[in-house]
Structure 1
Amino acid sequence: MDTQKCDTFFSTVFSKGGLCFSLAVLLLILLYTKKVEGFDEREKNNKEFTLVVGKNIYDDFYSKIYDSLVMDQAKNDFEIMNVINITKPTSNSVFLDIGSGTGHHVGQLRDSKYDAVGVDISPSMNAIASKNYPESTFKTGDCLDTMMFASGSFSHILCLYFTIYYIKDKKLFFGNCNHWLAPDGFLILHLVDREKFDPIIPAGNPFKIVSPQKYADERITKTNVNFNGFDYKAFFDFKNDYVSLFKETFVPKKNGKTRQNEHVFYMETHLEILTIAKSCGFKLIKKIDMVKCGYDNQFLCILQKI
C-alpha cells in the first residue's frame, strides 16, 4: 500500500466515527509491523550486497531520495517559527545550519529575509541544496573542524534532525559552536527521548496526527515503504545505552545490488548532552516539545552563549 492510497483510505475510515477510528489504528499498526511479502527472501538470496557506512552514506543515490524519505514541511515550519519567535533575530543576524542536507532550512530562512549559510559533510547533499536554492550558500565541511569559520561569525547556529547524534565528540562540537557564535548567540539543538521517540521515518508514517507507538504493545522500530524502483526497509537497533544503529536497506525490484546504509548514533541522555553544552559556555533558554508538529518525545532546545 503506497502513501497516497494510505491517506485516501484513512480519510474515508475516519469519517465513519469512533469505532472505525480504533479499527484504523489497529490496521495502521499492522501496516508498520508486517513484513513486505518476499522482501526478506530477496534480500537473503541477493548475493550482490553493498554496505555503506559513515559519511559515504550521503552519496548521489541517497541524496536524490533523501527528501522522499524524511522531508516534512510542517516540522520545518514549526522549527523555524519557534526559532524566530523565541530568539528574535534582526536584519543583522546570520544563521549557520549544521548538517544542512538538501537545504530547506537555509532556504526558508532566506525567504524570511535572514542571512543563512549551510554546512554539510556531503558534497552530494550540497549539490542538491544548491540546486534547490541557487541563491543560498552551502559549504562542504566537518563541524568538528574548528578552523572552518572565524570566531564570532554567526548569531544563530542550528543543529537539527538527529545531527547531534552523529557526533561522537560533543565537547569539541559545542566548543566550536561557542567559538563561531557572537556574544549572546543562540544554538538550537534537536534532541529526542531515546527510550520513547518514534523511530518510524516520515515516509513510513502517512498518518501523522497520531503515532502508532501509542497503540502498539511493543515499540515499533521498523519502517517498510514501497517505492517505484525498490523496496525500502529501516530498522532502529538500540544496541546499548549509548550507541544505536539505524539500518536502511534498499532492495531493487529488478536487477541491481541490495544496498544497506548503517548510521551510527551516539545517543547520550538530554542531561548528559546539556551538561556538556554547559561546560562549553552555554545555558538552556527554552525546551520546546515538538508534539504539536507530530514528533512525540522530540524537542527543540534553545541554548545561548554565556
Structure 2
Amino acid sequence: MIKFYNKLTNWGKILFFLMIFIIILFIFKNFDSLHKEGFIQNDSFLFKSNDSIYDDFYANIYDQLVFSNVKDNYEIGEIVNKTKPTSESIILDIGCGTGHHVAELKAYNLNVMGIDNSDAMIKKAKDNYPQYNFVKGDAINANLFHYNSFTHITCLYFTIYYFKNKTQFFTNCFNWLMPGGWLIIHLVNRDMFDPILPPAQPLLLVSPQRYAKKRITNSKIVFDGFDYHANFNLNKNNNIATFTEKFNNINNKVRKNEHTFYMESQKQILSYAQNCGFIIQAKSDLIHCGYEYQYLYFLSKPE
C-alpha cells in the first residue's frame, strides 16, 4: 500500500485522500443511521408477504435499507433533462414510498402527487414532507384517476415488478396521461443487476459482482439490537423473483418478509407497454450513479 502511495502523483495523492475521506464519511453516516430503529415484536416468528410487509416498522426502516440520495438526484435530473417539465406539468409518482422522489421533483417547483398502496408508507412520506401531496392508491385500479389527468407518470425503484398484470398497469397509465405525456419506468437486467443493498456493500464505488465468480445475492446488515439478512432469488422459467428478508433480534425473535417480483425480461415488459400504445423514446443507464445494469426507460403517449 505504501509503495502504491509513493508512486502516485501529487494530484493522485490528493484524490486518494479524498476517496478515503468520502469512504469514512459514508461509514459513519450509515453507522449512525443504523442505530436509530428498534425491533420489537411479541411473536417469536412473524411472516409478512407483499403488501403486508409495508407496515410502520418497515416504513421506518426502509430508507436505511435502500435510500440513495445520489441515485435519486441522478434519476430526477435525467427525467427533467429528457422530458422538460414546466410549471404547467402535472406529475404522478407511482410507488412514492417515503416521498424522496416527490421531494426531488418539487425542488424544481413542479406540481407533483405521490401515491402508494401502503398506509404506513404514505404516513412516513407525510412525516418526511408534510408540505407535499401524498395519497394512498393502487395503480392497478383503473378508476383511481380520470383520463388525461397527467403530463408525466413515474414508476421507479422496482415498483413495476410488484404488478403481476403489467398490461393493466400500462393501460391505466396510458389513459391517465394527456396526449404527448411521459411515462418513466425503472427496469433492470434481471440476470446481471446487483441485488446487494447499499448498506451491505463492502465497496463504496465498485460493485463486488465484477470480481465474484458467482453472483452475490445476499445482504447482511447489523443494526442496534438486531441483525438483518436478505437474499434475492430469480426463477427465470416462471419470470418470478423472491426477495426474502429476515430480522433477528437479541431476544431470538424473527420477522421474515417475502417480496414477490413479477420479473419478466426488459424486452417483454417494454412489449406490454408498446402493445398499450406507448412509444419508447429514450433510455438512461443508471451506472452513472453506481447502479449497474439498471435503467430508466422514457415512454411517450402519442399526441
Q: TM-score range by the shorter chain?
A: 0.7 to 0.9
Deviations 1:206-249 (A, max 9, x none): 53311000001100000001011210000001133300100000
Q: 1:252 aligns with which of 249, 254, 257?
A: 249
Q: 1:207 aligns with which of 199, 203, 210?
A: 203
In structure 2, the CA distance between the partners of 1:63 and 1:256, relative to structure 1 (3 Å rule), is farther
Give 1:127's aligned residue: 123
CA distance in 1, matches of 2:223, 2:84: 41
CA distance in 2, matches of 1:281, 1:120: 25
Deviations 1:233-287 (A, max 9, x none): 000011333001000000002x263001000001111110011000111011111
1:237-276 equivalences under 5 Å are 237-241=233-237, 242-253=239-250, 255=251, 257-276=253-272
Deviations 1:168-203 (A, max 9, x none): 000000000001111110000100001100000112
CA distance in 2, matches of 1:127, 1:159: 19
CA contact 2:146–2:176 (8 Å) conserved in 1: yes
TM-score for the superposition, normalised by structure 2: 0.85
CA distance in 2, matches of 1:119, 1:203: 26
Q: How many equivalent residue pairs? A: 267
Are 2:61 and 1:68 equivalent residues in the alignment? no
CA distance in 2, matches of 1:277, 1:65: 33
1:49-68 equivalences under 5 Å are 49-68=45-64
Give 1:5's aligned residue: none
Q: 2:132 aligns with which of 117, 132, 136?
A: 136
CA contact 1:208–1:294 (8 Å) conserved in 2: no
Paired letter, 1:282: F
CA distance in 1, matches of 2:247, 2:230: 9
Higher mean C-alpha deviation, range 235-244 or range 135-144: 235-244
CA RMSD of aligned residues (A): 2.0
CA distance in 2, matches of 1:301, 1:185: 14
CA distance in 2, matches of 1:17, 1:232: 41
1:141-220 equivalences under 5 Å are 141-205=137-201, 207-220=203-216
In structure 2, the CA distance between the partners of 1:153 and 1:212, relative to structure 1 (3 Å rule), is same
Paired letter, 2:168: L
CA contact 2:93–2:154 (8 Å) conserved in 1: yes
Paired letter, 1:81: G
Paired-residue identity, %: 47
Give 1:116's aligned residue: 112
5+ residue gaps, structure 1: 1-11, 22-46
TM-score for the superposition, normalised by structure 1: 0.84
Give 1:228's aligned residue: 224
CA distance in 2, matches of 1:259, 1:59: 12
CA distance in 2, matches of 1:263, 1:185: 31
CA distance in 2, matches of 1:16, 1:138: 54
SS at match of 1:90: coil
5+ residue gaps, structure 2: 9-15, 17-42
